[in-house]
Homo-oligomer: A and B are copies of this chain.
Amino acid sequence: MPMIQTDRRLEVSEAAWRVIVREGLDRTSMRAIAQEMNCTTGVVTHYFRNKQELILFALHQVTERLQVLMEQAVANSSGCDRLVTMLSSFLPLDRERQEILRVWVAFLGYAVGREDLMVAHQQSAGELRQVIIQELVTLQKQKKIRSDINPAIEANVLLALVNGVGLDALIQLQRLSPEQQKAVLQRYVDGLRN
């Protein structure tokens, strides 16, 4: 088991992301990734035991980057606004979040029919859900949101809403504008207020 530099693994993973967004996940071969890095498959196979490991690593980066975005939101606001900002991390409001969404969707489709990958998806989704639950519990203690709200359930609904709005931006030609996306989220959260 060689000592492995995380930076280099990240480089491979990011190259994989670019190929996924540009060509699609099923056309993201070892050779395509290597070419994207201007090197050969030797690099890819050196840092990842096999493709499965690479895929899982790249998928993990989705959650990683989403959590970074959410933490930034936590730092810069409070109350219900903070919840809205956190959930905005899932909306494709800028180039970065659009890319995250596309990669996420590509992996999700790829996970259909592959139980192991779907489980990995469920785990990362569960982590994000926990963050939202925690936030809802806090808001409820502060009496910022209604007491009849069940945080565990409401977290699912909130994530469903932002994921759905994100998908809308992907699949609808007459899609919601970024402002409308934010407005939908804002209005729904306002409905939770005390």
Interface residues of A (CB under 8 A from B): 20-27, 102-103, 105-114, 118, 121-123, 125-126, 129, 152-153, 156-157, 159-165, 167-168, 170-176, 180, 184, 191
| Contact partners of A122 in chain B: CB under 8 A | 171-173
A-B contacts, 28 of them at CB < 8 A, read A20-B112, A21-B112, A24-B111, A25-B109, A25-B112, A103-B112, A105-B112, A107-B109, A108-B109, A108-B167, A109-B112, A118-B170, A118-B171, A123-B173, A125-B172, A125-B173, A153-B180, A156-B168, A157-B165, A157-B184, A159-B164, A160-B164, A160-B165, A160-B184, A161-B161, A163-B164, A164-B164, A164-B165
